[in-house]
């Protein structure tokens, strides 16, 4: 089983427009797609699509928290959340005919330290059955910046591998806790090391530097230039085939889920990166946020190239 942790869950709404977005006017939505959101819940669906068992945990509150559980039940995603007093947020993604995507992300409501303690107890009860753990997204208001360090230490105390996917101060505050894997983009890895984002060769060196600190796998998202991974086996770069993007939101989360699956299955680094990139590309071909079809991913897998850099 793979355990996913999402502190800042949301109801994700994808609004598909029939015409380009015009500021300051009334826009009619052609189609609205609701999903249980928050990065870790997209990760959960990715894991299930890949054919592995998953349990999703984190915080859920109010009427939106009830809807969140119902949407996960609809998707067949097992879950075990800590209930909190404040309402779970909503996030809106506006999709134009051109493929342009505009997101409106509500901040997460305040969560108290008592709820964090309850979550730590729940995670402790779920860890014995977990093969891999993922921690994704932002930290809600009311919780300290070292929250992820606490959770990573908890996971490591049970000798379980942990993938961290976050950004900003939450990422900076968690690096020294040495998660098993992280997935920064080019700007984030430069921020961690106090450098400017340079060419791919410099990013590879930066990933290797972080790996040498004790993070087992450093996966760097390069946007249209693919991805790279620095790990014990070396440094590898992956290049995905060109596609007509439908909805890119959730692709990074899908990649994290596929990475967790690949780690559970013991895939070697080149195959791990190729598999994760193919699933992320397939996500971009689905209108529904954080969803993809495994048949599409398998087709893209054949066209995804991974080469050794060092």
Per-residue model confidence as pLDDT tens digits over 109-145: 999 999 999 999 999 999 999 999 999 999 999 999 9
Q: Rounded distance, CA 94 to CA 74, Å? A: 23
Compute the average pLDDT of residues 151-173.
95
Look at residue 191 and give its three-state secondary structure. helix
At 279, list the tokens: 């699933």
pLDDT for the residue numbered 223? 79
pLDDT for the residue numbered 225? 84
The domain tally of the chain equals 1
pLDDT for the residue numbered 251? 85
Q: How confident is the model at residue 55 (pLDDT cuts 50, 70, 90)?
A: very high
pLDDT for the residue numbered 30? 93
Per cent of the chain over pLDDT 70 is: 99
Positive or negative: CA dihedral 261, 251, 162, 216: positive
User: Which residue in this structure is represented by tokens 């969140």?
Assistant: 68
Whichever domain contains 198, its CATH number is 3.40.1190.20
Range of the domain at 220: 2-308
Global model pTM greater than 0.75: yes
- The arrangement of strands across the sheet holding 234-239 comes to 82-84, 54-61, 2-6, 132-136, 162-165, 181-182, 217-221, 227-231, 234-239, 305-308
pLDDT value at 73 more than 90: yes
Per-residue model confidence as pLDDT tens digits over 216-243: 999 998 877 889 999 999 999 998 888 8
Q: How confident is the model at residue 285 (pLDDT cuts 50, 70, 90)?
A: confident
Compute the average pLDDT of residues 90-108.
90
Number of Cβ within 10 Å of residue 254's Cβ equals 29
Per-residue model confidence as pLDDT tens digits over 194-222: 877 778 888 898 899 999 999 999 999 88
Least confident of 62-71, 196-205, 284-293: 284-293
């Amino acid at each position: 089983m793979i355990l996913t942790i999402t502190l800042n869950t949301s109801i994700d709404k994808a609004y598909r427009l029939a015409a380009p977005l015009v500021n300051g006017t009334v826009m009619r939505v052609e189609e609205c797609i609701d999903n249980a959101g928050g990065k870790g819940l997209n990760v959960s669906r990715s894991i299930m699509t890949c054919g592995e068992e998953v349990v999703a945990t984190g915080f859920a509150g109010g009427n939106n928290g009830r809807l969140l559980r119902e949407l996960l039940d609809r998707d067949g995603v097992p879950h075990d959340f800590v209930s909190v007093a404040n309402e779970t947020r909503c996030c809106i993604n506006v999709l134009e005919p051109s493929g342009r995507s505009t997101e409106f992300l509500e901040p997460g409501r305040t969560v108290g330290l008592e709820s964090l303690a309850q979550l730590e107890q729940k995670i402790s009860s779920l860890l014995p059955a977990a093969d891999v753990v993922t921690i994704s997204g932002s930290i809600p208001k009311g919780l300290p910046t070292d929250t992820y360090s606490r959770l990573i230490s908890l996971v490591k105390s049970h000798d379980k591998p942990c993938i961290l996917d976050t950004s900003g101060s939450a990422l900076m505050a968690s690096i020294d806790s040495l998660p098993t894997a992280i997935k920064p983009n080019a700007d984030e890895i430069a921020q961690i090391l106090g450098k400017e984002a340079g060419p791919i060769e410099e990013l590879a060196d930066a990933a290797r530097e972080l790996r040498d600190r004790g993070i087992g796998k450093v996966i760097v998202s390069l946007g249209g230039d693919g991805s790279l991974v620095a790990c014990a086996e070396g440094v590898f770069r992956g290049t995905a085939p060109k596609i007509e993007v439908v909805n890119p939101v959730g692709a990074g989360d899908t990649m994290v889920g596929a990475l967790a699956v690949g780690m559970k299955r013991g895939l070697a680094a080149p195959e791990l990166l190729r598999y994760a990139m193919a699933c992320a590309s397939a996500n971009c071909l689905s209108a529904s946020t954080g969803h993809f079809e495994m048949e599409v991913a398998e087709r893209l897998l054949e066209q995804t190239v991974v080469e050794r850099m060092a």
